């Protein structure tokens, strides 16, 4: 066995094999596994029911590359944003959005992003690397601890809507969800997890093939290829027709909820004609909801949010044409924690 392998890459049977190989008892594997996934230990020296000698041995044979909280900010509306630091010094952000009886964690899947959507702060950053599955898990575990401490109750929902494109870090995202939902870990229901994508048609179909149990959101933001190409470069290789086909395939295979996300940009995608095109797309997909999102300004990006009148006219048209629509008001704007604002500003 490699002496530098991340211990959280080991399954429980593999850990049992390791402890046998060093002449120790198999139940030490169960204790260790519980520290890793139930108690969320971030150092071997936290594993207090293991002997000091055994903890030193584990530290020699394995790494435990947990992320740590670097900076935490709280918005005037109660939203909490944390900047995390990885073992190799990279920064990423996660957010807790609290509303009524829901505490939703918004987590990142990459350090930076490669897609360069023109309205998004993260899109201004380079993609440094993918997050490993256990680093994504750490975000959720740390945000859950913060939720319990600050709000008095743990997380109720998780959305993969932070920094990065989840479907371009496919294997780690799925493995992180596997850990988050596992009975020997956080035991979160997959129905309370939503993965958001800018639209990678091939990987949406792969989600269907893999029969995933979580929900999916598509960041649509424009309902014609001409307009979507302008604000989301990914549309040039994953056009709306391809996404419609992929989403129908995903639903046929999983029957999981699909949400369309649509951020309103003043003078860009908020006209009645745009609403009409959105209705056409909506009717082609078995989606249960359209989230109309208030745009959050980002320094250096020229877009503005739609005014209230335009937003009302747009959503009224959708309702009139039997679209299940919800207007998502921004939360955490004052700490750059709102949709599209995550950029490690701290």
Residue at token pair 């690397």? 129
Q: For tokens 């979160």, what's the residue? A: 188
Is 236 one of the catalytic residues? no
DSSP lists the bridge partners of residue 196 as 217
Euclidean distance between CA atoms 326 and 260, whole angstroms: 10
Does 273 participate in catalysis according to the annotation? Answer: no
Alpha carbons 263 and 267: distance in angstroms, whole number: 12
Radius of gyration of the chain (CA): 21
Task: Say which residues have a Cβ less than 8 Å from residue 237's Cβ, sequence separation at least 6.
Answer: none
Provide the 8-state DSSP code for 4. Answer: T
Q: Which of 106, 117, 120, 339 is catalytic?
A: 339
Give the C-alpha separation, 36 to 3, whole Å.
18
DSSP state of 194: E
Closest by CA position to 163, among listed 234, 120, 111, 232: 111
From 20, 60, 93, 113, the catalytic residue:
93
Q: Is the dihedral of CA 3, 91, 194, 156 positive or negative?
A: positive
Enclosing H/E stretch for 242: helix 240-254
- The residues assigned a catalytic role are 93, 339
């Amino acid at each position: 066995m490699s002496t530098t392998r991340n211990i959280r890459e080991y399954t429980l049977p593999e850990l049992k094999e390791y402890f046998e190989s060093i002449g120790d008892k198999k139940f030490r594997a169960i204790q260790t596994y519980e520290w890793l996934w139930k108690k969320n230990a971030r150092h071997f020296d936290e594993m207090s029911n293991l002997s000091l000698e055994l903890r030193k041995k584990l530290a020699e044979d394995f790494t435990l590359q947990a992320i740590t909280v670097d900076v935490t900010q709280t918005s005037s509306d109660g939203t909490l944003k944390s900047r995390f630091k990885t073992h190799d010094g990279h920064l990423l952000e996660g957010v807790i959005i609290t509303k009524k009886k829901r505490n939703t964690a918004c987590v990142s899947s990459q350090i930076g992003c490669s897609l360069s959507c023109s309205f998004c702060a993260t899109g201004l950053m380079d993609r440094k690397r993918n997050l490993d599955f256990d680093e994504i898990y750490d975000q959720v575990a740390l945000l859950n601890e913060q939720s319990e401490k600050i709000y008095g109750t743990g997380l109720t929902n998780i959305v993969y809507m932070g920094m990065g494109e989840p479907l371009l870090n496919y294997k780690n995202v799925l493995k992180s969800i596997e850990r988050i939902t596992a009975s020997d870990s956080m035991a979160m229901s997959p129905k309370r997890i939503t993965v958001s994508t800018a639209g990678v048609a091939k990987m949406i179909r792969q989600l269907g093939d893999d029969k995933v149990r979580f929900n999916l959101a598509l960041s649509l933001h424009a309902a014609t290829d001409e307009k979507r190409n302008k604000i989301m470069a990914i549309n040039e290789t994953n056009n709306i027709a391809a996404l419609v086909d992929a989403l129908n395939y995903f639903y046929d295979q999983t029957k999981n909820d699909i949400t369309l996300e649509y951020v309103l940009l003043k003078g860009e995608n908020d006209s009645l004609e745009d609403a009409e095109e959105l209705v056409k797309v909506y009717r082609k997909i078995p989606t249960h909801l359209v989230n109309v999102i208030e745009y959050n300004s980002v320094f250096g990006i020229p877009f503005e949010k739609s005014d209230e009148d335009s937003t009302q006219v747009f959503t009224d048209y959708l309702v009139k044409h039997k679209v299940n629509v919800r207007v998502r008001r921004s939360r955490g704007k004052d700490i750059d924690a709102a949709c599209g604002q995550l950029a490690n500003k701290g």
